[in-house]
Amino acid sequence: MIVLGWREWLGLPDLGIARLRAKVDTGARSSALHVDAQWRFIEGGAPWVGFRLTPRRAADSACEALAPIRDEREVADSGGHRSLRVFIRTRLWLAGMEREIEINLVDRGAMRYPMLLGRTAMDGMFTVDPSTSFRHARPPRHRAEATEVSLHTPDQRVRLAAAAPATEVQPGTRAA
């Protein structure tokens, strides 16, 4: 098992995010990604979601991505408030490892970290030492430069349109 600190750098290459600071939270079952906006549509008879996240304060670095909706479930936040959230699947790069994970999309603009990495994403591969943070190097910027990446099967694709091909998401930033 790979040991993580309570916060780590990770990448979500299918979404065009080369680097992202995340809070590692064993108390959270699911992982959550901050999005500024999201919209639903049907493609090929299946439900999809489009979403936008702004990695830096500058609006010209906003990233938009599209993905098939994997599921919709109620999720309780840390205050016990429940909301219906869209879940997608995407690749995670963390600590030199790559795996597919499920994440939900939510406005985390008021939170310090734009990504919360929950225990289902860590299951069987990672453990956490809460006395440490940033135990692993940042993922390289160049890994998220593809404009279309295969997701799961050849007929399901994630498409992204990003002003900056390799973006780095900083905590506490949101669209103006």
- At 72-83, the pLDDT tens digits run 999 988 888 999
Q: Pick the residue with more confidence: 60 or 107?
A: 107
Domain count, the chain: 1
Is position 170 within any domain? no
Is position 132 within any domain? yes
pLDDT of 167 over the 80 cut? no
Angle made by CA atoms 122, 128, 134, in degrees to the nearest 5: 100
Is position 106 within any domain? yes
Tokens 């993905």 belong to: 67
Tell me the pLDDT band of 60, cut-offs 50, 70 and 90.
Answer: low
Give the predicted TM-score (pTM) of the model.
0.77
In this structure, is the dihedral angle defined by the CA atoms of residues 157, 12, 30 and 64, taken in order, positive or negative?
A: negative
Is position 176 within any domain? no
Q: Which CATH number covers residue 118?
A: 2.40.70.10
21-30, 69-78, 107-116: lowest mean pLDDT where?
A: 107-116
Give the E-state strand segments of 6-55 in sequence order: 7-12, 17-24, 31-34, 37-43, 46-53
Tell me the pLDDT band of 171, cut-offs 50, 70 and 90.
Answer: very low
Is position 171 within any domain? no
Is position 153 within any domain? yes
Q: Report whether 8 contacts 94 (CB < 8 A).
A: yes
Is position 109 within any domain? yes
- Across the chain, mean pLDDT equals 81
pLDDT > 70: percent of the chain: 76
Is position 84 within any domain? yes
Structural domain span for residue 97:
2-165
